[in-house]
Amino acid sequence: MGLELNKVTSDVKAMSTTLASKHIEIQDKHKTAKNTLEQFVNDDLLQQKITKAISLNWTGAIPTKEPINSSFECPAQPQIANIIATDGSQIYPDRHGKAMYFLINTGSIVFSHGSNEAPYCSSQPHLFYQDHDIYPNGSLISNAIINAKRDIIELQELSKLATREDQNNPTVLMLDNGLLLYLGLQTRENSQSAEMLQEYLDTLIKIESTGACIAGVISRPRAANVLRLLKLHDIKDTSFNEDEIRSLYPYNQLTDRMLFNFLRPGERSAIFVNASPQNLKSYMPAGQKIMFFYVNTGTINEPVILRVEVPEWVTQQPDKLSIIHSSIVEQSSFGNGYPYVLMRSHELAVVTWEEKQYLDQMISNSMHKNQIYTEISKKAFGKTLTNSAKRRHRR
Amino acid sequence: MSDKNMNNNSSSIPIGRMLRSDTTGFTFGCNLPEPDVPLFGDFVKAPAQQGKIDIIGVIYNIFIEDDLLVKQLITVPQLPETYIQDQRNNRQVPIEVSVLSIGYVYNDTIIYSLPPQPPVTLDYINTCAKNDIVQFTKSTDYLTLILNSNEPSIDELIITTLRRAAEARSIEEQGLFLFECGKKLARLLSHDPYKLDSILRRLKVNYEQNI
């Protein structure tokens, strides 16, 4: 037995006591934040504070013309719509394996809402093994860059599928993450990051040209952009510095999700602009500024607050914004608060432990045919002998 | 234990591909079942020994698995058809169909015993055409293999299999065919009169309803 549960019993007890007291503290903070939201005034002073904050790399939320404490009912879902979702999974390079490679697998579902037909499902693996893939800057590719590549491939797959769809019917594309590409720390890989970001933006532009609309859906979001706006609202004037706005106090430990739990089932919050420097410096000039809102896809007793990110051009077309809102709510009613198509695309994308073993075996056999004989590391071999009973915990 | 000239009738239909097998039977997978195939008690055939033989079997179980997502969806009131079709056509596949091997055909000769080798993975499984069924069931020796199997619902399987075999014949031939099968069952089940009685009664009811 690796984990002797009896040895953590007292820690678990202490942990639950700590969490209980923290819960009370958070409830108080939540009350304060709700009051600020209700009394929020979007005036010239706030605009000046926002302008200054942006110059200090503030990552808050910029209000739009919609009052920030407003809520919007779920519009009716059109009778017919194409709802397409893509998700991806990856196998990272394993230096203990027989060969260095990484794999990205996408799973997609094209759901014809109102058609009564079975959706079209597919998955597409992408194997990377060339030196320029594995060692793009002379050193091993980082997991963050592989994740970014996965996000780009997911978006490209959506773009491809959107092009194929009948444009007479509205088409909604969904991803299960935000639309701001995360590229890690962007140090040694700066030039590669810039290229990847451009590729991502080009794909968003292509999607816009298809007439489809796109949304990134985030489950249980940890973001606090709107809370940062409340914090900025609380500050008296524009004489603040970077450190002051970096701290979330008195709203630390809260999330926007908690703030918007007043939304009734199906309702969305106001729309905000994500003030992240990446959005304003790269996405906005490309005409792909990312906006976001929160939506309750749960029930009265059990609210489920999702964060939805959309490009600005979606918010400028009421029919597109409306169908994204209604599709997410409608799909979530069959997915326990999470869009059904995203659940299914994840299912189609995921690479199981067994499938990875089969792939490794295929690669090994192919190498043997080319007279290349390699072995897994002694450490990896040792794990195959000792880990069999624990495999289920690693998946 | 053999008969000549099993007819390779071209009207047999591929209904699935082999998943797993052993000498006594095999399980094949198929998509969403059609209304008429596969059915419990149907005669099917599968190639083995690289096509040298065709194994004949009868379907004794059709299995559709559930999972957590299906369990969640069944609680949703008024589930739209697209979701249902997704589950049926894209997720719950393959539907598993279990078959009991009851003989094989080698060089146009029917042999009523277990095959020398089971079929291999991904081979096509076909339904038997009516002529195949008539040829195969000219002898009643296959009933021994069914009765000797350990599968549950053997009584049901015998009744349904004999009904299928009877239906493959003309109305005029059906009575005599079932009479001969009844005589064979009386010999095989002489030690179990209650079981025999139950099977024969139900066969009689089936036959009378049919004519």
Sequential DSSP letters for A156-211: HHHHHHHHHS-TTS-EEEEESS-SSPP-TT-STTHHHHHHHHHHHHHHHHHHHHHT
How many Cβ atoms from other residues are within 10 Å of residue A13's Cβ?
10
Say which residues have a Cβ less than 8 Å from residue A117's Cβ, sequence separation at least 6.
B82, B85
- Nearest residue to A75 via CA among A311, A262, A215, A266: A266
Phi, psi of B21, deg, nearest 5:
-155, 160
Closest residue in B to A340 (Cα–Cα)? B83
Q: What's the confidence (pLDDT) of residue A385?
A: 74
- A116 in contact with B, Cβ within 8 Å: yes
Q: Provide, as residue numbers in chain A, all residues whose Cβ is less than 8 Å from the Cβ of B93.
A: none
Say which residues have a Cβ less than 8 Å from residue A256's Cβ, sequence separation at least 6.
A61, A221, A223, A224, A225, A226, A227, A294, A307
CB pair distance less than 8 Å for B72 and A336: yes
CB pair distance less than 8 Å for A333 and B76: yes
Q: Provide, as residue numbers in chain A, all residues whose Cβ is less than 8 Å from the Cβ of B86.
A: 109, 111, 118-119, 121, 344
CB pair distance less than 8 Å for B69 and A343: yes
Q: What's the confidence (pLDDT) of residue A395?
A: 37
Residue B33 has pLDDT above 80, yes or no: no
Phi, psi of A379, deg, nearest 5:
-65, -45
Q: Provide, as residue numbers in chain A, all residues whose Cβ is less than 8 Å from the Cβ of B69.
A: 343, 347
Which residue did the predictor score with more confidence, A323 or B37?
A323
Which whole number is the average pLDDT over A284-293?
97
Rounded to the nearest integer, the mean pLDDT of chain B is: 89
Which residue did the predictor score with more confidence, A391 or A345?
A345
Q: Select the CATH number that applies to the domain covering A77-225+261-351 from these four: 3.30.2170, 3.40.50, 3.10.450, 2.70.98.
A: 3.30.2170
Residue B76 has pLDDT above 80, yes or no: yes
What residue segments make up the domains of chain A, in order of their start? 77-225+261-351
Are B14 and B125 a contacting pair, CB within 8 Å? yes
Residue A186 has pLDDT above 60, yes or no: no
Rounded Cα distance between A88 and A149, Å, is 10
Residue A391 has pLDDT above 60, yes or no: no
Which residue did the predictor score with more confidence, A329 or A368?
A329
Half-sphere exposure of residue A187: CA atoms within 13 angstroms, side-chain side: 4
Band (pLDDT 50/70/90 cuts) for residue A394 is very low
From A115, A336, A347, residue closest to B82, measured CB to CB: A115
Rounded Cα distance between A123 and A349, Å, is 6
Task: State what percent of residues in chain A have pLDDT above 90.
Answer: 80
Residue B2 has pLDDT above 70, yes or no: no
Which whole number is the average pLDDT over A144-164?
95
Band (pLDDT 50/70/90 cuts) for residue B37 is confident
Say which residues have a Cβ less than 8 Å from residue B95's Cβ, sequence separation at least 6.
B29, B30, B31, B32, B33, B62, B63, B64
- Nearest residue to B4 via CA among B168, B178, B174, B139: B139
Q: Which of B7-16, B69-78, B131-140, B162-171 has the lowest mean pLDDT?
A: B7-16
CB pair distance less than 8 Å for B85 and A118: yes
Residue B192 has pLDDT above 90, yes or no: yes
Give one word for A114, left, alpha or beta, with left for phi > 0 and alpha for psi -120 to 50.
left
Closest residue in A to B82 (Cα–Cα)? A116
Q: What's the confidence (pLDDT) of residue A369?
A: 86
Q: What's the confidence (pLDDT) of residue A193?
A: 85
Rounded Cα distance between A343 and A87, Å, is 9
Q: What's the confidence (pLDDT) of residue B4?
A: 44
Residue pLDDT, tens place only, A50-71 = 999 999 999 999 999 999 999 9
SS3 state at A352? coil
Rounded Cα distance between A104 and A125, Å, is 6
Band (pLDDT 50/70/90 cuts) for residue A197 is very high
Which whole number is the average pLDDT over A313-318?
97
Residue B43 has pLDDT above 50, yes or no: yes
Cα dihedral A56/A59/A62/A67 (nearest 10) = -130
Which whole number is the average pLDDT over B166-189?
94
Residue B32 has pLDDT above 90, yes or no: no
Burial of B199 (0-12, 13-18, 19+ CB in 10 A): buried
Q: Which of A137-141, A203-207, A382-386 has the lowest mean pLDDT?
A: A382-386
* ipTM of this complex: 0.79
Interface test with A, best of B72, B73, B82, B90 (most A CBs within 10 A): B82
Residue pLDDT, tens place only, B93-114 = 788 999 999 999 999 999 999 9
Q: Provide, as residue numbers in chain B, all residues whose Cβ is less than 8 Å from the Cβ of A117.
A: 82, 85
- B170 in contact with A, Cβ within 8 Å: no
Which residue did the predictor score with more confidence, A82 or B2?
A82
Which whole number is the average pLDDT over A201-211?
96
Rounded Cα distance between A150 and B69, Å, is 26
From A117, A333, A336, residue closest to B82, measured CB to CB: A117
Q: Beta A102-113 vs A120-128: how paired, if at all?
A: antiparallel
Q: At what angle do helices A225-234 and A9-38 cross, to 10 degrees?
A: 60
Task: Please identify among residues 184-213 of chain A the ones whose CB lies closer than 8 Å to any CB of chain B.
Answer: none
Which whole number is the average pLDDT over A312-334?
97
Task: Please identify among residues 335-364 of chain A the ones whose CB lies closer than 8 Å to any CB of chain B.
Answer: 336, 340, 343-344, 347
Q: Which of A116-130, A277-291, B3-17 has the lowest mean pLDDT?
A: B3-17
CB pair distance less than 8 Å for A344 and B83: no
Task: State what percent of residues in chain B have pLDDT above 70.
Answer: 94
Interface test with B, best of A169, A344, A348 (most B CBs within 10 A): A344
Band (pLDDT 50/70/90 cuts) for residue B8 is very low
Rounded Cα distance between A312 and A289, Å, is 5
Q: Which of A177-186, A258-267, B122-131 has the lowest mean pLDDT?
A: A177-186
Write out the H or E segment, with its range, that includes residue B109. Answer: strand B109-111
Terminal CA-CA length for chain B: 31
Q: What's the confidence (pLDDT) of residue A188?
A: 55
Say which residues have a Cβ less than 8 Å from residue A243's Cβ, sequence separation at least 6.
none
Rounded to the nearest integer, the mean pLDDT of chain A is: 92
Task: Please identify among residues 43-82 of chain B the ones whose CB lies closer than 8 Å to any CB of chain A.
Answer: 69, 72-73, 76, 79-82
- A299 in contact with B, Cβ within 8 Å: no
- Nearest residue to A72 via CA among A294, A291, A273, A227: A294
Are A288 and A330 a contacting pair, CB within 8 Å? no
Write out the H or E segment, with its range, that includes residue A327. Answer: helix A318-332
CB pair distance less than 8 Å for B82 and A340: no
Q: Which of A38-42, A342-346, A389-393 has the lowest mean pLDDT?
A: A389-393
From B73, B76, B85, residue closest to A117, measured CB to CB: B85
CB pair distance less than 8 Å for B76 and A117: no
- In sign, the C-alpha dihedral spanning B163, B169, B174, B179 is negative
Residue A47 has pLDDT above 70, yes or no: yes
Q: Which of A148-162, A204-218, A342-356, A371-385 has the lowest mean pLDDT?
A: A371-385
Q: What's the confidence (pLDDT) of residue A388?
A: 57
Residue pLDDT, tens place only, A222-251 = 999 999 999 999 999 999 999 999 999 999
Give one word for B55, left, alpha or beta, with left for phi > 0 and alpha for psi -120 to 50.
beta
- Here the tokens at position A298 are 């749960």
Closest residue in B to A343 (Cα–Cα)? B69
Q: What's the confidence (pLDDT) of residue B211?
A: 66
The 8 Å CB, 24+ separation contacts for B153-157 are B153/B60, B153/B61, B155/B195, B155/B198, B155/B199, B156/B40, B156/B41, B157/B40, B157/B41, B157/B58, B157/B60, B157/B100
DSSP secondary structure letter of residue B90? I
From A119, A343, A347, residue closest to B82, measured CB to CB: A119
Burial of A140 (0-12, 13-18, 19+ CB in 10 A): middle
Rounded Cα distance between A378 and A384, Å, is 10
Residue B83 has pLDDT above 50, yes or no: yes
Residue pLDDT, tens place only, B147-160 = 998 888 899 999 99
Give CA separation, A155 vs A160, A207, A294, in Å: 9, 9, 22
- A115 in contact with B, Cβ within 8 Å: yes
CB pair distance less than 8 Å for A111 and B86: yes
